[in-house]
Amino acid sequence: MKFFVDTADVKEIKDLAATGLLDGVTTNPSLVAKSGAPSFLKLIEEICGIVSGPVSAEVAATDYETMIKEGRKLANIAKNVAVKVPLTQDGLRVCKELTDDGIMVNVTLCFSAAQAILAAKAGATFISPFVGRLDDIGQDGLKLIEEIVTIYQNYPDFETEVLVASIRHPIHLTESAKMGAHVATIPPDVIRKLFAHPLTDKGLAAFVDDWKKTGQTIL
């Protein structure tokens, strides 16, 4: 499973990229606003220089004519930009056109398996089903991941990767991985939770204490 970090915070991206475990980045208008970056285009360019994997940059418009222009402009920033478009009729039209031109596209705001089928038929590079937001309204977000993965596996011609979004905790990640989702985009704080386990901390503390008792050094 590939790990993307879901943030527009350059400092966070640099820190996590240094682990060598980061495969890409996803941003959205809300995350960009939160970052306080004065220039969206320059921000995406900077992020693309930090990571070599896909960097999702979302269009701001909702109509076809403007979205296609914005999408092409974003794609020209760097080769690893994945243009992010909404799962609407116009959004999928833009997806098909950009995909035909060899541009990566991330179709976002997916909340049903039927929508995911349409995105795959439009040639999306990634489909982003929002697990946490479905959980918030009393639905089972992970069930949607299971449905999409199963459907895509039934049709080998579908090359779209399932990118699990709106991840709120490590269970969302591990359950999605068990189902066979290709990618998870994870907030920085949740990524850091993946490293943590009380038994790891306890065991490490014991090893460090015992090593001190030997009076030795490795360097």
Residues serving a catalytic function are: 84
Look at residues 107, 108, 132 and name the one whose alpha carbon lies nearest to residue 121.
Answer: 107
Buried b (16+ CB within 10 A) or exposed e, 66-95: ebbebbbebbebbebbbbbbbbbebbbebb
Residue 42: what residue type?
K
CA angle 52–126–114, rounded 5-degree value: 175
Q: Nearest CA to 167 among 195, 187, 181, 139?
A: 187
Q: Which of 115, 94, 21, 8 is nearest to 57 (CA)?
A: 8
Which conformational region is residue 54 in: left (phi greater than 0), alpha (psi within -120 to 50 degrees), or beta?
A: beta
